[in-house]
Amino acid sequence: MQKKEVEMELFNTYPTKIPNLCGVNNPDDMAIYTAQEGRCFECHKPVQFFSASDERPEGYTVEHVFPSSLGFGLYGNKVLSCLTCNRRKAQKLPSKQYLGAVQDLYRKVFPKPAIDAMRSVRHPVWAGRCGGRGANGALRMAH
């Protein structure tokens, strides 16, 4: 399968036109920051609660779990990272282990109806779709 086809497959599985599910907005950054105990999602280094920049790198960045460059919106698809980890991840797809950690985080910050709704529409975080097709045609995890 060509890279472009994989990207379209990912895009088509995600309801980017739905701003929220069950009338539940994406948790705000403070809710996620609190659930992450003020640490980077990936390296667990403490981050400050303001947007990081080159001048103030000790802040946080909003990280898309599935990259925005592939058409993924932020709903149920963001974590907070330090500037270094955000730049390292860039456009990479999440691993299975990473997705498991995202699910654990979202169990803390999303109400249950929102999680149920994400599962029902096969939101990629809960459907575990990371790209590439296995022999049985099922999308499989990136590593």
> Which residue from 65, 82, 93, 114 is in contact with Zn ion, where contact means CB under 5 A?
82
Tokens of 14: 């995600």
| Span interacting with Zn ion, options 25-33, 56-64, 82-90, 93-101, rule CB under 5 A | 82-90
Which residue's CB is nearer to Zn ion, number 46 or number 113? 46
In sequence order, the 6+-apart residues with CB closer than 8 A to the CB of 83 are 52, 53, 54, 57, 59, 61
Q: How far is the CB of 84 from Zn ion (least distance, A)?
A: 5
Give me the long-range contacts of 29-32 (CB less than 8 A, separation at least 24): 29/60, 29/62, 29/80, 31/109, 32/78, 32/79, 32/80, 32/105, 32/109
Q: Which 2-61 positions form the footprint of Zn ion (CB under 5 A)?
A: 40, 42-43
Which residue's CB is nearer to Zn ion, number 83 or number 125? 83
Interface positions with Zn ion (CB under 5 A): 40, 42-43, 82, 85
